[in-house]
Chains A and B, each alone.
Chain A
Amino acid sequence: MPHRSSVPLAWRRFEARYRLVGNRCANCGTVYFPPKAICPKCRRKGKLEKCQLKGEGKVYSYTIIHAAPSGFEKRVPYCIAIIELDEGPRVMGEVVGDLALLDIGARVRAVFRKIYEDGEDGIIHYGLKWELV
Chain B
Amino acid sequence: MKLDGKVGIVGYGCYVPMYRIKVEEIASVWGEDASRIKNGLLVEEKAIAGDDEDTATIAVEAARNAIKRASIAPEQIGAIYVGSESHPYVVKPTATIVGEALGVGNDYTAADLEFACKAGTAGIQMCLGLVKAGMIDYGLAIGADTAQGAPGDALEYTAASGGAAFVIGRKDVLAKVLATASFSSDTPDFWRRPFQHYPRHAARFTGAPAYFRHVGGAVNFLLEEMGMKANEFDHVVFHMPNGKFPLRMAKMLGIEKDKLENGFVVSKVGNTYSGSSLLGLCATLDKAKPGELILLASFGSGAGSDAFAIEVTELIEEKRELAPTFEYYLNRKVYVSYARYAKMRGKLKE
Interface residues of A, Cβ cutoff 8 Å to B: 14-15, 18-19, 21, 52, 74-75, 96-98, 111-115, 124, 126, 129
Contacts and interface: CB of A to CB of B under 8 A. Distances in A.
A75 to B, nearest CB: 7
A75 B52 contact: yes
Given A19-B103, A114-B57, A126 B51 contact: no
B89 A114 contact: no
Contacts of A115: 52
A129 B64 CA distance: 15
Interface string B235-254: 00000000000000000000
A75 B56 contact: no
Interface string B45-60: 0000011111011001
A97 B18 contact: yes
Interface string B64-90: 100000000000000000000000110
Contact of B50 (A15, A96, A124): A96
B94 to A, nearest CB: 10
Interface of B: 18, 50-54, 56-57, 60-61, 64, 88-89, 97, 100-103, 334, 343
Tell me what chain A mostly uses at the interface: helix, strand, loop, or mixed.
strand
Contacts of B103: 19, 21, 52
A112 B50 contact: no
Contact of A126 (B50, B64, B97, B334): B97
Contacts of B101: 18-19, 112, 126
B52 A18 contact: no
B51 A75 contact: yes
B106 to A, nearest CB: 12
Contacts of B88: 114, 124
Given A75-B52, A126-B57, 17 more contacts: A14-B100, A18-B101, A19-B100, A75-B51, A96-B50, A96-B52, A98-B334, A111-B57, A111-B61, A112-B56, A112-B64, A114-B53, A114-B88, A124-B54, A126-B97, A126-B101, A129-B52
Given A98-B334, A124-B88, A114 B100 contact: no
Contacts of B343: 74
Contact of B57 (A52, A75, A112): A112
A97 B89 CA distance: 26
Contacts of A96: 50, 52
10 contacts: A15-B100, A19-B100, A19-B101, A112-B57, A112-B60, A112-B64, A114-B57, A114-B88, A124-B56, A126-B56
A74 B51 contact: yes
Contacts of A19: 100-103
Contacts of B102: 19
Best-surrounded residue of A14, A21, A112 (most CB of chain B within 10 A): A112
Contacts of B57: 111-114, 126
Nearest to A21: B103
A96 B52 CA distance: 10
Nearest to B74: A19
Contacts of A126: 56-57, 97, 101
B336 to A, nearest CB: 12
Contacts of B97: 126
Contacts of B51: 74-75, 114
A107 B210 CA distance: 48
Nearest to A19: B103
A126 B50 CA distance: 14
